[in-house]
Structure 1
Amino acid sequence: MTYLGIDLHTRNMTICAVSSNGKKIGEWKLTNQTDQLDALIREISGPTKAVVEATSSWYWLADWAESRDIELVLAHAKMLKAIAYAKVKTDSVDAHRLAQLLAADLIPAAHMVMGTRRELRELLRARLRMVWRRCKVQDSLYNLFFKYNVPIPKYPFRDLNRLEEHLSRHLPPASSLEASLQIDQFRLLEAQVYRIEKQIDGFRSEFPNYDRISQVPGIGKVSSWSILAEIGDISRFKSDKNFVSYCRLVPGAADSGGKRRHKSRNKDGNKYLKVAFSQAAIGAVSFYPPVRQFYNKIRRRSGKHVAWTVVAKELARIVYFMLSRNEPYKGFKGKETPKDTYLNWPHSVSPRSLRGRDRADPSQPDAI
């Protein structure tokens, strides 16, 4: 067996090969082209196993390895740094260290998402980025309201045409032009979010657990898809504690010398699961009395910020046990909380205001 340590960058990579006993066989510096990798594999010959750090550019390499039946291990970058610190750090040193750790079976592996689940995950993350940009546009428009003391209509973003007319009557010409451009951006982002959502709906038949976890209070379409895409195989979590920790819903700890310190806002884990369960907690507290009672109990004792996180943690535990035990939803903290049947996408804009929103694609329907 030949073990390959790959130090991958955006345009090139350094590859080091070692034998089963850790002896260095060779080292190559290649550009990120599959034909060069194919030539290298033919030169090495024999069974091969490779490792690469979990950076933002590993997707294409994983697809290449899968198509060539080469086992590729994805190394957890933060944990790898903890066990393989080196004073001298170069591409050659990193690649050689990765190969040696792989040969010794000491690589801290990260979860590798492939195939349909990875495509769904990318779509959901792209949708979230679009929503964040849309929120920034909303903030810019609200700043114009406040700057010129313009009366804010009720639900201003429900009808963008009416909002544009309202601002043009109350703002000076320069700011009115700015507002019109911001509203055009809002229309474009709404159209892009809509297109992503239509694409996401096509994955439903491939994820049978979707209908099950969508019965949990506060978990709608977006949250259901995000949770399924980000979790992957639920069996990789040994317990519900491991799962809620991965969701960033429990604080870290730095206990030493008899002193206990909590580390809130710890970045270990999956930020997208934290967003999904935090949003689900807001919906559950808002519309389900048993969840609201539990939230109020925690809030009186520990404050609202802790209470929101505790509710999100309980929802995550419910999802974990439903998936790991293959069980239906049974209730929240022993109390029945039947799910609202309205499970539509949470749109903030009237479909009528989006007519002509994507002039490049006139085939899009007006209704969302």
Structure 2
Amino acid sequence: MGRKIGMDIHRDFAQIAMVEDSLLRDAGQIGCRPEELRAWAATLREDDEVALEATGNSEAIALLLRPKVARVVVSNPHKTRAIAEAKVKTDKVDARILAQLLAADFLPPVWLPDERTSRRRRLIARRLHVVRQRTRIKNQVQSILHRNLMPRPRSATPSALVAVPGCSASRCRTTSARRSTRCCDSWTSTGQNWPSWTDESPSRPWMVRTSVG
């Protein structure tokens, strides 16, 4: 029967405890750098099981350990503490609790995404952060202009484009229509110069400027 190993994860190290042959014991500390984790994972057996709480680096550690053991369980820390609340909180105690709960099959796990899903989640989170930063900076600029009695820049005035034949202005003024037809995008968010895009010219007879208000 495989060992049940509990890991109390920190930024630079992890405290280890394990249940082996129904006996609970401490197993020291290991570093949380990739090379140190790989060296420790090489000492594990294929029928071992490892438990750790969900933290900022738990997903990366779980990915390193998965190929070496039978199962890696990342637990919900709030539910784990509700199940086994310790009066004395130390790294060794936390590691022991994880090992004991894993041995009893009483550990509430969290869902771990695959690598493709993880990449998409990171990409979406990063894009959301950039969009929020961009909006915050725009609002700061508008606030500074307003505080100093300055007019808004021309590119910030409400306006839209009637772009392709058969596209009505009222339809293209809505966000949902812009997203579905891609004919009248939000030009103010692209940083483009309004006159160069919206002035009528022989080369662009289908582009006319129209007021949204």
Alignment of 1:43-62 (within 5 A): 43=43, 45=45, 47-62=47-62
Residues 84-110 of structure 1 show CA distances to partners (whole Å, capped at 9, x for unaligned) of: 211100111001100100111111111
**How far off its partner does 1:51 sit?**
1.1
The 5-angstrom pairing of residues 156-195 of structure 1 reads 156=156
C-alpha displacement of 1:25: 3.8
Which whole-Å CA distance do the structure 2 matches of 1:155 and 1:351 have between them?
A: 8
Alpha-carbon distance between aligned partners in 1 of 2:126 and 2:157, rounded to the nearest angstrom: 22
Q: What residue number does 2:24 align with?
A: 24
**Which residue is equivalent to 1:350?**
190
**Secondary structure at 1:150 match in 2:** coil
Q: Which residue matches 1:114? A: 114
| Residue matched to 1:98 | 98
Q: Secondary structure at the match of 2:16?
A: strand
Indicate the SS of the match to 2:156: coil
| Secondary structure in structure 2 of the residue aligned to 1:14 | strand
Asked whether the 8 Å contact 1:7–1:52 carries over to 2, the reply is yes
CA RMSD of aligned residues (A): 2.9
Unaligned runs of 5+ residues in structure 1 are 159-282, 289-339, 354-368
Name the aligned partner's letter for residue 85 of structure 2. Y
Q: Compute the displacement of 1:348 (Å).
A: 4.8
Residue aligning to 1:133? 133
Relative to structure 1, is the Cα distance of residues 85 and 343 closer, same or farther in structure 2, using a 3 angstrom cutoff? farther
1:35 is displaced (CA, Å) by 3.9
Report the TM-score, using the length of structure 2 for normalisation. 0.71
1:57–1:38: structure 2 CA closer, same or farther, 3 Å change rule? closer
Identity in percent: 23
Partners of 2:89 and 2:126 in 1: CA distance: 34
Kept in 1, the 8 Å contact 2:46–2:69? The answer is no
- Distance across 2 between alignment mates of 1:36 and 1:152: 56
How many pairs align? 175
Alignment partner of 1:152 is 2:152: yes
Q: CA deviation at 1:10?
A: 0.9
Q: Is the 8 A contact 1:6 1:14 kept in 2?
A: yes
User: What's 1:14 paired with?
Assistant: 15
1:39 CA displacement: 4.1
CA contact (8 A) 1:3 1:18 kept: yes
Instruction: Look up the SS of the partner of 1:352 in the other structure.
Output: coil
Q: Which runs of 5+ in 2 are unaligned?
A: 159-173, 194-213
Given residue 17 of structure 2, which amino acid in structure 1 is its aligned partner?
A: C
For the residue of structure 1 that corresponds to 2:149, the secondary structure is coil
Structure 1 residues 12 and 350, CA gap change in structure 2 (3 angstroms): same
Deviations 1:57-114 (A, max 9, x none): 1132122013435521110111112112111001110011001001111111111112
Render the CA deviation track for 1:298-340: whole Å, top value 9, x for unaligned. xxxxxxxxxxxxxxxxxxxxxxxxxxxxxxxxxxxxxxxxxx7
Which entry has the higher C-alpha Rg, 1 or 2?
A: 2
CA displacement, residues 12-53 of structure 1 (integer Å, 9 cap, x when unaligned):
1111111263x2144211111344344444545452111111
Question: Structure 1 61/143 Cα, relative in aligned 2: closer, same or farther at 3 Å?
Answer: same
Which structure has more relative contact order (CA 8 Å, sep 6+)? It is 2
2:8–2:16 contact (8 Å) kept in structure 1: yes
Whole-angstrom CA distance in 1 between matches of 2:89 and 2:35:
28
Cα 1:74–1:346 shift into 2, 3 Å? farther
Aligned to 1:249: none
* Residue type of the alignment partner of 2:81: K
Q: What TM-score, normalized by structure 1, do the two folds share?
A: 0.43
SS of the residue corresponding to residue 144 of structure 1 reads helix
